[in-house]
Structure 1
Amino acid sequence: MEQVYPRIVEFLEEELGKDTSGHSLDHAIRVYKNAKAILKSEGGNERVVLISALVHDVIDSKLFEDSREQQAKLLIFLQTLGCSQVELKEIFYIIENISYKGGTGEPVHTLEAKIVQDADRLDAIGAIGVGRTFMYGGSRGTKMYDENILPMEFEDETAYRQHKGTVINHFYEKLFKLKDLMNTETAKKIANQRHEFMVTFVEEFLNEWKGQA
């Protein structure tokens, strides 16, 4: 992994270097570090987990207009790293199935996918999660808060993707739910503390919004 890491980072800088939505290279590296920490306690195929953690956003449809083109580009790149057919199958299974999808997605079934999903979700909560949520909202022109727009539950991924609510609603619609959706015991422990930080933050935000001292 040490040999291919610099090449993956260079590839990601090219693909995600201009991102302003909270999905840039620094996010990928944090997910990689989260996955590495979870691996120590949970086990799993280290190479598959760490490569998947780094490249998980390269084919994300909310970041790229042509996700099929991104898939082809990523496949060619991973082949240059010497990934076997088995590894390629496992990596693409992970990165195609770990996203939240409005809470309507099927649970992932491999330990490696569970670890990468947890690692990605840990970076969506806590202090970093708060920052990334506002960053993403700002990049999409989303309001911070509107008391007339209520949080929603979504029937499917399409409704989730098309919905344009507020940044604060996103905490209720997704982020507050992630603590209970962690797969591994390691991630669950980390998530508890980060969840409490978000709850405190949103309470303070709403108090300040209402002009309460």
Structure 2
Amino acid sequence: MTDTRPTYLAHVHTSTPLVEKALDYAFQELADDASGHDRHHVLRVYKMAQRLAKAESLDLEIVELIAALHDIQDFKFTGDEMSGAREAERWLLEQNAPPDLASLVASNVAGISFKGAGTPTNPLTSEGMCVQDADRLDAMGAIGIARCFTYGGARARAIHDPEVAVAHHSTTEQYLKHQGTSINHFHEKLLLLKDRMNTEAAKRMAEDRHDFMESYLRRFSEEWEAQS
């Protein structure tokens, strides 16, 4: 029997046909992304969320759907905190998903993203917490460093400017309007993630990725000052 799945899904495990459709939809929507929120990011988050969900004995289909759709209509690009949740729910209902499932996935999508160090957080189910951990792990370590500078370039941010102060935001609006620098973004977000993990497995992985980022920043500072 001929495999009719898209080639980029050929080796991806999906628990239901709806999950496969959701991944395909996300991959198509994010195909032209150059900010570090592309289909490769979605797939890494998806696989890590699966891993965490299995460790926590959670509903795999719900976890996979949240992971597949978590970056559709991302608020960082739309300026609307609820754009991703609305689109996730709209798409799921269009696929004839049960309304309760569509609503559950959408409410979790609304709460996944980091929106500033001091902003209130939206409540998540255990499934949503797994995806949030997976998404945050992808913002840390070697991948996180690469994505930080990719995103900074896409937003026309300077790599570093010692005269630009680190800012911690108390509202999503402040977070969205802030330009900053890529190095400051480590202090405004990435280095804060270790202590914001939900699952025990993610907490362990975050320690190693956090240490790697700190080591990188020390080397960056030495080279910036022509000391190394």
Distance 2:97 2:163 in 1: 50
Q: CA deviation at 1:127?
A: 0.5
Q: Map 1:5-154 onto structure 2 (within 5 A).
A: 5-64=19-78, 73-103=87-117, 104-106=119-121, 108-154=123-169
Match of 1:209 in 2: 224
Distance 1:149 1:159 in 2: 16
Show structure 1 runs of 5+ residues with no match.
none
Tell me, yes or no, if the aligned pair for 2:159 and 2:183 is still in contact at 8 Å. yes
Q: CA deviation at 1:83?
A: 2.2
Instruction: Kindly indicate whether structure 1 or structure 2 has the higher relative contact order, using CA contacts under 8 Å at least 6 residues apart.
Output: 1
Distance 1:36 1:62 in 2: 25
Show structure 2 runs of 5+ residues with no match.
1-14
Q: 1:96–1:66: structure 2 CA closer, same or farther, 3 Å change rule?
A: closer
Distance 1:186 1:107 in 2: 22
Q: Secondary structure at the match of 1:62?
A: helix
Q: Secondary structure at the match of 1:102?
A: coil
Deviations 1:74-97 (A, max 9, x none): 434323544211211110011001
Q: 1:64–1:42: structure 2 CA closer, same or farther, 3 Å change rule?
A: same
Distance 1:59 1:105 in 2: 21
Provide the aligned length of Structure 1 versus Structure 2: 213
Q: 1:212–1:126: structure 2 CA closer, same or farther, 3 Å change rule?
A: same
Tell me, yes or no, if the aligned pair for 1:59 and 1:67 is still in contact at 8 Å. no
Q: 1:191–1:212: structure 2 CA closer, same or farther, 3 Å change rule?
A: same
Counterpart pick for 1:158 among 157, 167, 173? 173
Distance 1:150 1:119 in 2: 29
Distance 1:69 1:175 in 2: 24
RMSD: 1.9
Tell me, yes or no, if the aligned pair for 1:52 and 1:95 is still in contact at 8 Å. yes
Q: CA deviation at 1:112?
A: 1.2
Letter in 2 for 1:125: M
Tell me, yes or no, if the aligned pair for 1:98 and 1:108 is still in contact at 8 Å. no
Normalised TM-score (structure 2): 0.86
Normalised TM-score (structure 1): 0.92
Percent pairwise identity: 37
Q: CA deviation at 1:68?
A: 7.0
